[in-house]
Structure 1
Amino acid sequence: MDFSRLETSSKIGDGWRYPAAEPRRSGWLDVDAEAGHRIYWEEYGAAGGEPVMVLHGGPGGACSPEMARFFDPARYRIILFDQRGCGKSEPNVAAAGPAAALRHNDTPHLIDDINRLRDALDIAGPMHVFGGSWGSTLAMAYAIAFPQHCASLILRGIFLGSAEDLDYLYQGNAATWHEAPYALTAPGAYINYPDEWAELLGVLSVAERRDVMASYKAIFDMVPQTDAERERQLHAALVWSLWEGTISNLIPEHGATGKFGDADFALCFAQIEAHFFANDLFLEPGHLIGGASTLASIPVHIVHGRFDEVCPLTQASRLVAALRDAGREPATYVVTNAGHSAMERENALALTAIMDGLPPLR
């Protein structure tokens, strides 16, 4: 049979409107002398342009230059930065270990880091805040704390981080998987990714699968004493990372794991995510939806993939309903025929179109 006409990727590929570019300038900013944190940042686009603060996902996902391609470089001043513990920020989980890199690594500190970066880069007025997945969470938390700094929120793949949201991604049918691996006993991303789910659960014993996130966290918290323990910890981080990386795309790219299959990236990504998830994202339960009246004072633009298995569409639905209850429709609400990743073609094109269509800041 001829399968040559089948789609092999749902990513944007060469469909970008704006070209790849080098940063105009970059550097590190000391943000926490006590814990030793300094964050790495890059700036693209127009020096005098409208500022856009880009918040990456994960947590622990780090930025890449491709993230600057959503924005017209003649109009926008684009700021990317790696959040604490990941990417080029220091201390880095992979290089320095979790004890150093996870100290003071929480949502309130990340919010403070955004303000420190604003000040260091001489951003005095409101800015656009652009974030996807965990970046949408951090963007909303920041906007609730500092609405006066936000000209607009551009959010992709809404992540509210409730227990049910995390159970969908990591728990599913895990507790009974050993008895009936293909039984649809609970909602979950495992339904569409049974082979990848088997890899995720294969790291754990039957007893450990009763609480997948807690069991992975225990592996990540372990201080390895032997080569076997180090190997298990790295393998667990890679499997955790590849699970999310694979299911982020409508058409999984099994032959090209990208950053999710890189050992250093996986150690940062997996350990920082597990750290935040074990601590309820360092937010009070219901904080984001409870802050809808504040969010409603800001133009909120939402792009969400209908086939998002990392952050199912119901999370965007809950946010939109809360904004409406607060008396304001989202400025934009686009449901794409895409998965989770910002690099999915329809998500990337929708986000670019929103940025192109924003009214100029005065």
Structure 2
Amino acid sequence: MDFSRLRTTSKVTNEWTYPQGAPLRTGWLRVDTAPDHELYWEEYGRADGEPVMFLHGGPGGACAPVMSRFFDPDRYRVILFDQRGCGKSRPTVAADGPEKALAHNTTDHLVSDINALRDALGIGGKMHVFGGSWGSTLALVYAIRNPEKVASLILRGIFLGSKEDLLYMYQGNAATFAEQPYALTEPGAYIAYPDEWKAFVEVIDPARRSDMMGAYKAIFDMVPASDAERARQLEAALAWSVWEGTISNMIPADEDAGKFGEAEFALCFAQIEAHFFANDLFLKANEITDGVGALKGVPVHIVHGRFDQVCPLTQASRLVQALEAAGMPPATYVRTDAGHSAMEAQTVLALTAIMDGLPPI
């Protein structure tokens, strides 16, 4: 049987409008002491262009040069930076350990970092703020607290981070998995990815599976005293990272976990996420949906994949409902036939079209 004509990926291929450019400048900015957090940043596009602050996902996902390709380099000045604890910022969880990298690593600190970075780079007026997944969370929090600095919000894969949102992704049917691995006992992303879910669940002892996030966090919090314990910690970080990376694409690439399967990335990504999730994202309950009234005058553009299993579409629906209740319906709301990743082909097309169509600042 010939299955060669079936689609093997939903990732972007030749859908990009703009080529990959080289950064205009790169650098590190010290934003804290004890520990000395330094943010790594890159600037792309036009030095005197309309500023765009790009907020990556995770938390702990870090940036990559390809993220600059959503933007017309002849119009925009694009700032990519790695948030605390990950990527090329210093210290990192992987290189320096969680005790240092997770210290002073909260949503309040990240919001403060954005202002420090814009000041250091001489951005005095309004800027576009562009974020996906956790980046959409951070973008919303930043804009609610600093609306006078935001020209527009461009959001992808809305993540509101409620308990039900996290249980959908990380808990699912794990508590009953040992007895009924394929029973649909609870809602969850596992429904569409049963084999990948099996790999994620089986890292945890059956007796601990009633709280998967807590069980993983306990492994991450362990101070390894032996090679076996270090290997156990890495195994858990890779399982957490690969689970999210795989289900981010509507059609996952077979046997290619990409950066999610790399040890250094996984250690940062998994442990920073678990740190934020264990602390309710360092936000008050409903802080975003209750606070959107502060965004009056800030156009909000939303792109969300209909088949997103990391951040199901209902999260975008809740945000839209809150915006409408505040008398500020989104300027754009596009539901693509895609999954979660920013690198899904239809999502790339939609985000690029929004950026091309924004009125000048």
TM tier, smaller: over 0.9
Q: Distance in 2 between matches of 1:41 and 1:292?
A: 29
In the TM superposition, residue 34 of structure 1 has moved relative to its aligned partner by: 2.7
In the TM superposition, residue 297 of structure 1 has moved relative to its aligned partner by: 3.2
- Answer whether contact 1:246 1:254 (CA < 8 A) is retained: no
| Paired AA for residue 241 in structure 2 | S
Q: Name the % identity.
A: 70
Residues 6-15 or 185-194, more deviating:
6-15
Q: Distance in 1 between matches of 2:25 and 2:82?
A: 15
Cα offsets for 1:294-341 (capped at 9, x unmatched): 134310000000000000000000000110000011000000000000
In the TM superposition, residue 39 of structure 1 has moved relative to its aligned partner by: 0.4
Residue correspondence of structure 1 range 20-39 to structure 2 within 5 A: 20-39=20-39
Is residue 64 of structure 2 the alignment partner of residue 76 of structure 1? no
| Paired AA for residue 206 in structure 2 | V
- Answer whether contact 2:26 2:41 (CA < 8 A) is retained: yes
- Answer whether contact 1:323 1:330 (CA < 8 A) is retained: yes
| Paired AA for residue 5 in structure 2 | R
Task: For residue 181 of structure 1, give the secondary structure of its aligned residue in structure 2.
Answer: coil
Partner of 1:6: 6
Cα offsets for 1:184-212 (capped at 9, x unmatched): 11110011111111111111011111100
Q: Distance in 2 between matches of 1:41 and 1:56?
A: 12
| Paired AA for residue 115 in structure 2 | N
Q: Distance in 2 between matches of 1:256 and 1:197?
A: 16
- Answer whether contact 1:303 1:350 (CA < 8 A) is retained: yes
Q: Distance in 2 between matches of 1:134 and 1:65?
A: 19
Task: For residue 232 of structure 1, give the secondary structure of its aligned residue in structure 2.
Answer: helix
Partner of 2:132: 132
- Answer whether contact 1:94 1:264 (CA < 8 A) is retained: yes
Q: Distance in 1 between matches of 2:294 and 2:191?
A: 36
In the TM superposition, residue 15 of structure 1 has moved relative to its aligned partner by: 1.7
Partner of 1:279: 279
| Paired AA for residue 230 in structure 1 | R
Residue correspondence of structure 1 range 150-189 to structure 2 within 5 A: 150-189=150-189
Partner of 2:238: 238
Partner of 1:103: 103
Partner of 1:142: 142
Residues 285-294 or 55-64, more deviating:
285-294
- Answer whether contact 1:307 1:339 (CA < 8 A) is retained: yes
Task: For residue 252 of structure 2, give the secondary structure of its aligned residue in structure 1.
Answer: coil
Q: Distance in 2 between matches of 1:359 and 1:35?
A: 41
TM-score, normalising length: structure 1: 0.99
| Paired AA for residue 72 in structure 1 | D
| Paired AA for residue 87 in structure 1 | G
In the TM superposition, residue 227 of structure 1 has moved relative to its aligned partner by: 1.0
Q: Distance in 2 between matches of 1:47 and 1:104?
A: 32
TM-score, normalising length: structure 2: 0.99
- Answer whether contact 2:15 2:348 (CA < 8 A) is retained: no
Q: Distance in 2 between matches of 1:22 and 1:221?
A: 38
Partner of 1:253: 253
**Against the structure 1 CA distance between its residues 296 and 166, is the aligned structure 2 distance closer, same or farther, given a 3 Å change threshold?**
farther
Q: Distance in 2 between matches of 1:296 and 1:210?
A: 42
Q: Distance in 2 between matches of 1:116 and 1:137?
A: 19
The size of the alignment, in residue pairs, is 361
Q: Distance in 2 between matches of 1:72 and 1:125?
A: 20
- Answer whether contact 1:217 1:271 (CA < 8 A) is retained: yes
Partner of 1:200: 200
Partner of 1:115: 115
Task: For residue 136 of structure 2, give the secondary structure of its aligned residue in structure 1.
Answer: helix
- What do you get for the CA RMSD once the two structures are aligned? 0.6
Partner of 1:310: 310
- Answer whether contact 1:296 1:323 (CA < 8 A) is retained: no
- Answer whether contact 2:126 2:151 (CA < 8 A) is retained: yes
- Answer whether contact 1:54 1:78 (CA < 8 A) is retained: yes
Partner of 1:297: 297
- Answer whether contact 2:299 2:331 (CA < 8 A) is retained: yes
Q: Runs of 4+ in structure 1 displaced over 2 angstroms? A: none
Structure 1 unaligned residues grouped into runs of 5+: none
Is residue 55 of structure 2 the alignment partner of residue 55 of structure 1? yes
Q: Distance in 1 between matches of 2:292 and 2:29?
A: 31
Task: For residue 152 of structure 1, give the secondary structure of its aligned residue in structure 2.
Answer: strand
- Answer whether contact 2:60 2:273 (CA < 8 A) is retained: yes
Cα offsets for 1:2-27 (capped at 9, x unmatched): 11100011111122100011101000
Q: Distance in 2 between matches of 1:85 and 1:136?
A: 19
Partner of 1:266: 266
Q: Distance in 1 between matches of 2:112 and 2:34?
A: 14
Cα offsets for 1:73-110 (capped at 9, x unmatched): 00000000000000000001100000000000000000
Partner of 2:340: 340
| Paired AA for residue 162 in structure 1 | S
Partner of 1:87: 87
